[in-house]
Copies of this chain bind each other. A is one copy, B any other.
Amino acid sequence: MNNRGSKKPSFDLAIDLPDRASRQVGRDLHRQLRAAIVGGRLQPGLRLPASRELAAALGVSRNTVVAVYDLLLSEGYVSAHGRGGTIVSDFLSSRLRGSVSPTGPRRDPRLCPAWHTPALTPTGTPRDCRFDFSVGIPDCSEFPFDVWRRLTTRAIRAASRGHDWYGQPEGRPALREAIARHVSFARAIACAPEEIVVTAGAQQAFDLIARILVTPGETIVAVEEPGYAPLRNVLMAARAKLAPVPVDDEGIRVDRLPKGSRVIFVTPSHQFPLGVHLSLARRAALLEFARSHRAVVVEDDYDGEFRFAGRPLDALKTLDHGESVFYVGTFSKCLFPALRLGFVIAPAWARPALVAAKQFADWNAPLVTQDALAAFIAEGHLARHVRKMRRIYGERRDVLEHALARFCGDKVEVVGIGAGMHLAARLDDSAPAATLVQRAEVAGVALSSVRRFPGGGANANGLMLGYGVIESAQIPEAVRRLARLL
């Protein structure tokens, strides 16, 4: 502390005022005194120097110090005792200062028990391998970002002129109309815009559905085995009773559904992770189960736009006449994941609850992004991009299938080639997938084991090969390296 005055204060305030001539000097002094009081350096009961003394000591005007003391007084940090001076208040009990949680961070009793050890999914980072068969990452290099920029700019411009700042929780009417047209064209689902709720990706769709359908500790929810970990995390957090149901070459084993299942989550177009599609017979059986048990089916159509072999099977939503099916769509795969937009087509009986759940969760999706996406769909860019990516992914899938046949022969059995951005390759037991994945990484090939997915262990010894990132030209060499390890 600079000490130009004749009298030194009786304690060291450690005040540092770099520019005493500035108009900020009072503010600086106030902040530092307050910090010293809050931080405990100036203890309750301590008498502050008289304003005249402090002003002299700091080389500032007395008025400045008086104003700062007044402010501290009005805030309650100090109290005035007339000629007794200005005293630091006992505004916080000293016990409060510096107390720490004795039980360690995560298991603090203030958290709900269910949240003591949450299962976070690691965020995928690009693999450092030359050949990358990562699953679930679309190729965004072909995305028309210039168009997206233009439409976003237009949406911001429109927003700046309007004044509807909070939106309807179910989403912008123009976007719901565009989505309704898109799904009727892309998935043959006839729905009205009123049936759609716009969500922050499929993840939020799962979460909202779980909220309105799962009574904690009671509701039995069937999921596919193997399946998608982030979905299970949501359901466990909602305290659903999870019932994993095995998947075979026709999809989920409907005959193995527990009788008491109230909600059944499925990926009928392209099972995640195995890639098979749910056969028509199973579709009918599943809907019949739902009808007769008054259960709900949630159809997760995460990459249903990318279907290569023949016409896609009808969506469960299309076949459903019992108002049993929630259809979940996402723009993460057909546009880009950073967008965070998806949607639910919900049965009429569930809509008011779903809309309310969306409002409680985050009020509404960002309006500018919704408007940009509505225009993107309405102007035909989505359909064009999906067509283009279907061709690109289809070509990669062909090259991959041929390379696997050529280099690996009957050492692998390829499944799940009908759609999407990945396939699975079953191995016989002489080649454990986990070991293979490790050795492949050393050879510059990144892929994953089916066992990495929940329930994958019981089901199959297999590899997952995504072709969202890798280019066609790289595939043969990648598969050749893999084949050498078999």
Nearest-neighbour CB distance to chain B for A248, whole angstroms, equals 17
- B-contacting residues, A337-393, CB 8 Å: 337-340, 347-353, 355-357, 359-371, 374, 378
Chain A 307-327, CB within 8 Å of chain B: the 1/0 string?
000110110001101110000
Nearest-neighbour CB distance to chain B for A330, whole angstroms, equals 11
Chain A 202-232, CB within 8 Å of chain B: the 1/0 string?
0110010001111110010000000000100
Q: Are B156 and A115 in contact (CB under 8 A)?
A: no
Please give 7 more A-B residue pairs, beta carbons under 8 A apart, in addition to A106-B349, A111-B213, A118-B355: A110-B350, A115-B212, A119-B356, A145-B156, A166-B337, A207-B362, A340-B366
Expressed in whole angstroms, the Cα–Cα distance for A125 and B165 within the complex equals 9
Whether a CB of chain B sits under 8 angstroms from the CB of A93 is yes
- In the complex, identify which listed stretch (A11-19, A65-73, A251-259) lies at the interface while the others stay far away: A65-73
Provide the residues of chain B in CB contact with A283, threshold 8 Å: 91
Provide the residues of chain B in CB contact with A203, threshold 8 Å: 359-363
Provide the residues of chain B in CB contact with A288, threshold 8 Å: 92-93, 96
Q: Are B111 and A349 in contact (CB under 8 A)?
A: yes
Q: Are B321 and A161 in contact (CB under 8 A)?
A: no
| A-B residue pairs in contact (CB < 8 Å), sample of 8 | A31-B163, A80-B378, A92-B287, A108-B349, A118-B355, A120-B359, A124-B166, A152-B152
Q: Are B160 and A143 in contact (CB under 8 A)?
A: yes
Q: Are B167 and A156 in contact (CB under 8 A)?
A: no
Known: A75-B174, A340-B362. A91 touches B145 (CB 8 A): no
Whether a CB of chain B sits under 8 angstroms from the CB of A84 is no
Expressed in whole angstroms, the Cα–Cα distance for A120 and B319 within the complex equals 31
**Residue of B at shortest CB range from A311?**
B71
Nearest-neighbour CB distance to chain B for A228, whole angstroms, equals 13
Whether a CB of chain B sits under 8 angstroms from the CB of A201 is yes
Whether a CB of chain B sits under 8 angstroms from the CB of A62 is no
Whether a CB of chain B sits under 8 angstroms from the CB of A95 is yes
Whether a CB of chain B sits under 8 angstroms from the CB of A27 is yes
Whether a CB of chain B sits under 8 angstroms from the CB of A296 is yes
Q: Are B158 and A71 in contact (CB under 8 A)?
A: yes
Q: Are A215 and B100 in contact (CB under 8 A)?
A: no
Whether a CB of chain B sits under 8 angstroms from the CB of A34 is yes
Chain A 151-193, CB within 8 Å of chain B: the 1/0 string?
0111111111111111111001111010000000000100011
